[in-house]
Structure 1
């Protein structure tokens, strides 16, 4: 007798945060185990995501379930309901399609075996549920704000107040002033109104070891943005109207990007904002608040006299690097960006913005010197004799590949022409033997047209010539590399050449060193070709896909020899055979 094969079942359970608890997982597993026992299956794997919304795709256990499905670790997927697997129409449809491809049925306690009909109907219902839940949540938060309570989050300067009601429940949304933090808030306002910058204030707070508002999730240090924030969105210490006893809610809406699954904040029109007076939460008096607002407005007008920031966001305003290595230079001591601290010199933004309590690197260096040293290091290695030989070999390989493709097409067309001519000859021979038929006329016309087409194609694509390397090929390569700096300064070529060069470099680390030029040792890392290792004493034939490495003061090897050639090509026409 043939033994009965028992299906291996994988259970998936999930609960989100709304009105559910961790015990919900056990409840789901219990009903799924009962279904599996009734069907005579066996449990192979159990997957559970706790406290995660069904609208999210990147759930750890859900992702693991899909990976194990591809490895054949079970034969059927079991869940309490389709909405436990996902509440997103696109995600549940993709999951069903994937399981169907793998031959794995989906069975739920609530719906039975899932079909395309369930995907359509339940997917729509889940999407409507999420929309309805969002509207109800929004309405509930609005009610709390109208009562002067918190709608979520905790501003610096306040703490949550919990009280037990007569029925034993605990109050929520109540806040009270934290006097210690309120003193810091008032200090920030007074210092800013007195003329200190947000950067100076942040550095002073860090020097005293005062924890910032994000100390629970960040590094605990103050930064200029923590203080200045965004005046339009009401973020930052200086823009929080709660400090003057005014609770403003619904300034912005968060929308999830379907491609990245990340939330993006969108500013709501002022008409949609909800404002409630909460005088018991006032920390800053009105006069001090207005002094700060006047100074902020004056600074904005000075920085942007044309008022461009008040206009709509447009793609053409997207920020582009102002200089060759903008955004790539970092501090080797703390990891912060090295930015222009004035018109000509780079310095550590961490030390400048957060003070010496965050980073002690106060060294600066001229921007032109950084660019010159980096380009010189690249040029020196690119001019190594073995690298020049590699360039010639690369050119030879590319030429031969192109020639091989052309030769292959020509050979194919030659064979096809021979076959056509053979068919024409056979047909003429049949006619001579008296086997003519009226249908042969159309057939002969078609063959003649095909012969004409192939003949013309062969004439227009002559046989590829043999590779003849120009005797000055190596010298031309050398000239192009020598012209690297000029290519990057030529207005007509700067954009293309600089983008190619930036594609080679991911980071330029600046380490203060009094014995080095400019008081800095430079370490560069990125996707440079392994051929740059040829500058080392033991350099050998370059590898076109080498792993990462590093040289102090010079360059770091990676992949991308073609980028080196792209920069070199920027100044002159392409080489021809």
Structure 2
């Protein structure tokens, strides 16, 4: 009997000339093609409004993932460029599917081979470059006319008009009265000495929507002067439109767009006096306060220009809003959200000295995250949970053994039927199915051994404390400081800083990384003593999920 081929369909649209119905049209054409060829369609994948220049598409990624399961034999598509227009990507897709014995067939090109990949891949890549050039040319023409060439600036709204033929006139915009008042206020406040953080805080406290519809942040205002981003750097507010300041290219490894500053001679500058919001005197005052743009000293390597990471950088969390805690001065930490977006978003304005925070947390790591009472509770809870898991494993094993016995018994009955005169052709398929299932069940049983009893080493707490003390001592010596810092950070999940009433000081909730604590207490990644056999890292990691009772966060009141 001839095997019926299983196919999946892939459809995609991306350009303005296409619409949602294009997906349905492609799928219908592929189904009709499959029916003519006698092929079963088992799944459909699609990507809407997704560029073919990148593989960062959910539909194509799911298709490639499912191909690993070998649930289909053919990928059907309207044309090869639906899968990808990128020459390297289409070659990669072809190689991955070929490796799994999956063919590609399109309505336009038929069965795809290496020749199609080379020729069509090159043509599609050339199409993308040509499309980019035409799009850029069209946008440049729009920018020279003083119209919007993409994007929407705060303070303006788009105007939709039609020409005599009923075609939309694109790029028209007008000053938005409400938003333009906010822009003038921002410039006036900044020129009189208010910082972007204070301005953002005031706007948030009054409930003024930001450009994205959410709260204001300091970076929304100051942006990047060199790149012309941010409210305070947008020259459109003085009736001067600058287009093509930045260009965007896709990183071939991540598929993400990366912006690059174009040479100034490539900028397209157009006067649009009707769009002016800020008068020249206020603009000059704001620019004067910004001061001359600082030139970066490129002679200093970037790793030497970064702010040094403190012992617990990135691990601190505000207990009020969930935002990060960062340095607000040379010696203190505070909530970043409260300072960037104001008290209307987060009212936690309490601070803590870096030295005090590190002293308290290091003391907790030494004395409280592995005390005997907590360890006793953990051992009890862990043993109870492992016994429950062991009971489940035993029940599952018994079910597999029962099914295996049934498969063997049914197989034996079929052999008896053949001996009794039943033609072998009538029972052949059933015998093969039972034999395949028998092999599968025997493999499952071999991999599901009954868990061994659990025993916690009695000196685990002592080993842990000794190692933590050693790591803390290494912080004082340059040779071992970096290694010790990373090891200590690995023992912590997070540090939650919660203001307490009525004094407003901070309580520190220190949450230990259970798997790291236990591995350190056991003396390494593998250590005898947690069970009768050598304990693997995977079992240690399981503890994070099944046992946390004995290691509740340690709390300090400051």
**Shift of residue 523, structure 1, vs aligned partner:** 3.2
Distance 1:65 1:476 in 2: 50
Cα distance change, pair 345–291 in 1 and its aligned pair in 2 (3 A): same
CA distance in 1, matches of 2:55, 2:491: 34
**Contact 1:231–1:239 (CA under 8 A) maintained in structure 2:** yes
* The one of 134, 137, 141 aligned to 1:136: 134
Report if aligned partners of 2:512, 2:553 keep a CA contact under 8 Å in 1. Answer: no
**Which range is displaced more, 342-351 or 228-237?**
342-351
Distance 2:184 2:464 in 1: 64
Equivalent in 221, 224, 244 of residue 227 of structure 1:
221
The residue number in structure 1 matching 2:344 is: 357
CA distance in 2, matches of 1:201, 1:320: 26
Aligned to 1:416: none
1:331 maps onto 2:329 in alignment: no
Say if 2:361 and 2:510, in contact at 8 Å, map to a contact too: no
Task: Tell me the CA shift for residue 176 of structure 1.
Answer: 0.4
The CA distance in 2 between the partners of 1:476 and 1:5, in whole Å, is 63
Measured after TM superposition, the shift of residue 478 of structure 1 is 5.6
In structure 2, the residue matched to 1:95 is: 93
Instruction: Say yes or no: does 1:116 pair with 2:114.
Output: yes
Q: 1:274 aligns with which of 268, 272, 276?
A: 268
Any idea what the Cα deviations from partners look like across 1:540-572, whole Å, max 9, x if unmatched? 9596323165632369xxxxxxxxxxxxxxxxx
Distance 1:206 1:475, change over 3 A: closer
Alignment RMSD (CA, Å)? 3.0
Report the CA distance shift for 1:254/1:144 in structure 2 as closer, same or farther (over 3 A).
same
Aligned to 2:105, the other structure's residue is in SS state: strand
Q: Do 2:464 and 2:520's aligned partners in 1 also have CA atoms closer than 8 Å?
A: no
Q: TM-score, normalised by structure 1?
A: 0.73
2:474 to 483, 487, 491: 487
Question: Partner residue of 1:51?
Answer: 49
Which of 162, 167, 170 is the matching residue for 1:169?
A: 167
Deviation at 1:278, TM superposition (A): 0.5
User: Which residue number corresponds to residue 263 of structure 1?
Assistant: 257
Matched, 1:342 2:329: yes
Pick aligned residue for 1:127 from 103, 125, 128:
125
Shift of 1:33: 2.3
C-alpha displacement of 1:13: 1.1
Tell me the SS of whatever aligns to 2:162.
coil
Between the aligned partners of 1:284 and 1:376, the Cα distance in structure 2 is: 56
Query: Does the Cα contact within 8 Å between 1:7 and 1:41 map onto a contact in 2?
Result: yes
Q: Is the CA contact 2:201–2:344 (under 8 Å) kept in the aligned structure 1?
A: yes
Give the deviation of 1:345 after TM superposition: 2.1
Structure 2 CA distance, aligned partners of 1:19 and 1:314? 47
CA spacing shift, 1:541–1:349, aligned 2, 3 Å: same
Range with greater deviation from structure 2 (158-167 or 376-385): 376-385
* 1:488-522 Cα distance to aligned partner (Å, 9 max, x none): 23233222221332344353221112599953232
Any idea what SS the aligned residue of 1:103 has?
A: coil
Of the structure 1 ranges 89-98 and 180-189, higher mean CA displacement relative to structure 2 is found in 89-98
Q: Is 1:345–1:364's contact at 8 Å kept on the other side of the alignment? A: yes
Kindly report structure 1 stretches of 4+ aligned residues shifted beyond 6 Å. 385-388, 473-477, 532-535
Deviation, 1:59, is 1.6
- Change in Cα spacing, 1:476 to 1:378, as seen in structure 2 (3 Å) is closer
> What are the equivalent positions in structure 2 for 1:35-74 lying under 5 Å apart?
35-74=33-72
User: What secondary structure sits across from 1:144 in the alignment?
Assistant: helix
The aligned residue for residue 4 of structure 2 is: 6
Alpha-carbon separation, structure 2, partners of 1:51 and 1:506 = 39
Structure 1 residues not aligned, in runs of 5+: 301-306, 389-472, 556-577
State how 1:111-510 maps to structure 2 within 5 Å: 111-215=109-213, 220-297=214-291, 307=294, 309=296, 311=298, 314-317=301-304, 319=306, 321-380=308-367, 480-510=467-497
In structure 1, what is the Cα distance between the partners aligned to 2:340 and 2:461?
Answer: 49
Q: CA deviation at 1:37?
A: 2.2
Deviations 1:215-249 (A, max 9, x none): 1xxxx111110111111111111000000000011
Q: 1:19 Cα shift?
A: 1.6
How far apart are the structure 1 equivalents of 2:129 and 2:305? Answer: 33
Q: In structure 1, what is the equivalent of residue 526 of structure 2?
A: none
Instruction: Specify every segment of 5 or more residues in structure 2 that has no aligned partner in the other structure, as ranges.
Output: 376-459, 523-528, 532-538
1:93-135 CA-partner distances (Å, limit 9, x unpaired): 1211121122121111111111111111111111111111111
Equivalent pairs, count:
455
